[in-house]
């Protein structure tokens, strides 16, 4: 069956239709034009309105006074020879978008109010530059406003940028919960605002880090006074949800000089000053100095070399013996990391370990140390233990227990021969995660030692929460005992505590016979230091054990 088609006359162009039908089509078009929801008008060559619909009249609030404007639009269309898009601002402040299409004589104009669209875009732009939590500006807005100030010609007083970081906030946030942490940040924001002048700029950059752009003050006096004021304000107690909370703050300051034209450069300089202030201790502020930038570049180069060192096999391990004072025999060895860099030579662990922890590279390095120490110790005669240091960064890694299990399985080392040394900073976790990891490691048969006891956040609570196998007394107490009664008292107290709790106590850094006699008299159970032996490469362990330790 052939498809049906429309009557022939409906397929003709309007001018081909019979007069009666042509009129009907014209009437229909006119009705459609007049009733369409979008504002529309047909304008003559000289700007005269030939036909308008109600929506057009309503949009413009009448048509009086439009002739000159429409004539200009018509002329623009004629000059361009095509469609145009115009935006017109009305006397009442609204913005109207006009789409203009040329006709044989004049043009067709359709319009719509775009004020709401512009307002919505403005709101979206504002939201994109506002911190949801504090309602301050965010990093994006701050960078834009800083860029504006940097682009301006000379100032009577140079701007100063301060970055402020809160101390202990992360631990408080984890302990008290995010809700309390958010409430605390809002209070911090209010306190910062209370110390600023009206024309100063403030933003929350991220987390517990804020930034202030101080304007119109003599420098560096103005920014120094503001930093001191903020540190004092933020260090005062807060009452949040019925809890009294104390935090501290540090600030980094950079006074903008004429040669500083890059936003990232200025903010990076402030961050460097902030890092130096934090290293000085909470409640400090520091100004940016050129030497800080040089140090940062040096650290960056060191970091690059450090990341390469593992893949290029530049690391090695040496082992320092530990001697039991009860048996006068070697009880085990501590693995110590060494780095021989082709361009730098021997790099001290004091230089690269903190950087490895800061950058997270310590996780990969620490795993290599653990696997290497277990593999090399498995070939030693007898059942001497091997002690491996585990940094706080490693300890927080969720795969630590699996890595230890894998290292033991690959090497064949008996779990009871492996001793993991952690520092007191690991025990600062108040949510019990540290204790869970310690118990999981203990369940493998691995022994645990508390390293550098007495130098950090020492608390007997650590020893109540977990029964360590060994407490290591930091060498600073051991080496100073000859002329340091307080240090000797600390060694004696830790030794007595270890004995009461059934834990061994190892005196580190014993270099002289006098130091040895003192730690023996103070009750230590084991010693470690140059008096016994310097750290040895793995290949010398067997001969060292054959020769025996020096006569003590």
Q: Are residues 322 and 356 in the same domain?
A: yes
Is 245 part of any domain?
Answer: yes
Q: Are residues 35 and 171 in the same domain?
A: no
Q: Are residues 450 and 543 in the same domain?
A: yes
Q: Copy the structure tokens of residue 181.
A: 């942490």
What CATH number has the domain bearing residue 178? 3.30.70.270
Q: What is the pTM of this model?
A: 0.59
Residue 66: pLDDT band with limits 50, 70, 90: low
Among candidate residues 57, 90, 116, the one where a domain is terminated: 116
What CATH number has the domain bearing residue 29? 3.30.450.20
Give the pLDDT score at 325. 93
Give the pLDDT score at 36. 64
Give the pLDDT score at 349. 92
Q: Are residues 408 and 542 in the same domain?
A: yes
Quick one: three-class SS letters along 111-127? Answer: EEECHHHHHHHHHHHHH
Q: Are residues 94 and 158 in the same domain?
A: no
- Residue 2: is its pLDDT beyond 50? no
Share of the chain above pLDDT 70, in %: 82
Greatest mean pLDDT among 74-88, 368-382, 537-551: 368-382
- Residue 237: is its pLDDT beyond 60? yes
- Is the peptide bond prior to 220 cis by the omega test (within 30 degrees of 0)? yes
What CATH number has the domain bearing residue 343? 3.20.20.450
The DSSP letter of residue 549 is P
Give 408 or 359, the one with higher predicted confidence: 408
Residue 333: pLDDT band with limits 50, 70, 90: very high
Is 72 part of any domain?
Answer: yes
Rounded mean pLDDT, 186-202: 93
Q: Are residues 341 and 283 in the same domain?
A: no
Among candidate residues 288, 313, 344, the one where a domain is terminated: 288
Q: Are residues 190 and 278 in the same domain?
A: yes
Is 278 part of any domain?
Answer: yes
- Residue 5: is its pLDDT beyond 60? no
Distance, CA of 165 to CA of 235 (rounded, Å): 12
Q: Count how many domains the chain has.
A: 3
Is 452 part of any domain?
Answer: yes
Which of 313-322, 426-435, 447-456 shows the lowest per-residue confidence on average (mean pLDDT)? 426-435
Give 420 or 87, the one with higher predicted confidence: 420
The DSSP letter of residue 527 is E
Is 37 part of any domain?
Answer: yes
Is 524 part of any domain?
Answer: no
Distance, CA of 132 to CA of 258 (rounded, Å): 34
pLDDT in tens, 248-270: 999 999 998 887 878 888 998 89
Q: How far apart, in Å, are the Cα atoms of 95 and each of 59, 115, 429?
A: 10, 5, 58
Which of 252-256, 416-420, 473-477, 518-522 shows the lowest per-residue confidence on average (mean pLDDT)? 473-477
- Residue 3: is its pLDDT beyond 50? no
Q: Are residues 233 and 99 in the same domain?
A: no
* 247 close to 166: Cβ distance less than 8 angstroms: yes
Give the pLDDT score at 434. 82
Please give the residue range of the domain that contains residue 384: 302-472+534-547
């Amino acid at each position: 069956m052939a498809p049906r088609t429309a009557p022939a006359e409906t397929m003709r162009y309007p001018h081909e239709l019979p007069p009666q039908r042509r009129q009907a089509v014209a009437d229909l078009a006119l009705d459609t034009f007049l009733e369409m929801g979008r504002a529309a008008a047909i304008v003559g060559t000289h700007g005269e309105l030939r036909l308008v619909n109600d929506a057009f009249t309503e949009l413009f609030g009448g048509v009086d006074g439009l002739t000159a404007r429409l004539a200009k639009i018509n002329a623009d269309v004629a000059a361009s020879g095509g469609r145009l898009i115009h935006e017109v601002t009305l006397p009442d402040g609204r913005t109207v978008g006009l789409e203009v299409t040329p006709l044989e004589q004049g043009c067709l104009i359709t319009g719509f109010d775009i004020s709401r669209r512009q307002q919505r875009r403005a709101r979206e732009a504002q939201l994109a530059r506002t911190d949801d939590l504090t309602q301050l500006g965010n990093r994006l807005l701050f960078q834009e406003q800083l860029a504006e100030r940097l682009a301006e010609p000379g100032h009577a007083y140079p701007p100063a940028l301060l970055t402020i970081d809160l101390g202990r906030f992360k631990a408080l946030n984890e302990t008290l919960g995010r809700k309390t942490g958010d409430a605390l940040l809002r209070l911090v924001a209010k306190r910062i605002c209370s110390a600023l002048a009206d024309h100063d700029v403030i933003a929350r950059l991220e987390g517990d880090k804020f930034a202030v752009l101080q304007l119109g003050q003599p420098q560096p006096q103005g920014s120094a006074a503001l930093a001191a004021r903020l540190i004092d304000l933020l260090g005062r107690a807060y009452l949040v949800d019925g809890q009294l909370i104390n935090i501290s703050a540090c600030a980094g300051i950079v006074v903008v000089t004429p040669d500083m034209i890059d936003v990232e450069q200025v903010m990076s300089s402030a961050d460097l000053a902030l890092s130096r202030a934090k290293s000085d201790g909470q409640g400090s502020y520091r100004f940016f100095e050129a030497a800080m930038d040089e140090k940062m570049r040096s650290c960056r180069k060191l970091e690059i070399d450090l990341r390469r060192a593992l893949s290029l096999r530049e690391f090695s391990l040496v082992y320092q013996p530990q001697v039991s004072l009860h048996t006068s025999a070697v009880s085990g060895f501590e693995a110590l990391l060494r780095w021989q860099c082709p361009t730098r030579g021997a790099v001290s662990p004091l230089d690269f370990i903190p950087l490895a922890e800061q950058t997270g590279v310590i996780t990969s390095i620490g795993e290599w140390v653990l696997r290497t120490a277990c593999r090399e110790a498995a070939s030693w005669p007898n059942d001497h233990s091997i002690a491996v240091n585990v940094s706080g960064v490693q300890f927080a890694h969720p795969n630590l227990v699996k890595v230890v299990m894998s290292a033991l399985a690959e090497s064949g080392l008996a779990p009871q021969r492996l001793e993991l040394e952690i520092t007191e900073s690991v025990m600062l976790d108040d949510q019990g995660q540290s204790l869970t990891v310690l118990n999981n490691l203990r369940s493998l048969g691995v022994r645990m030692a508390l390293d550098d006891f007495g130098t950090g956040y020492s608390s007997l609570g650590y020893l109540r929460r977990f029964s360590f196998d060994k407490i290591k007394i930091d060498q600073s107490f051991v080496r100073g005992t000859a002329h340091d009664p307080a240090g000797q008292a600390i060694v004696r107290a830790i030794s007595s505590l270890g004995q009461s709790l059934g834990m061994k106590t190892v005196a580190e850094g014993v270099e002289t016979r006098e130091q040895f006699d003192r730690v023996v008299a103070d009750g230590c159970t084991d010693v470690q230091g140059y008096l016994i032996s310097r750290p040895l490469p793995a290949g010398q362990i067997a001969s060292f054990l054959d020769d025996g330790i020096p006569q003590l």
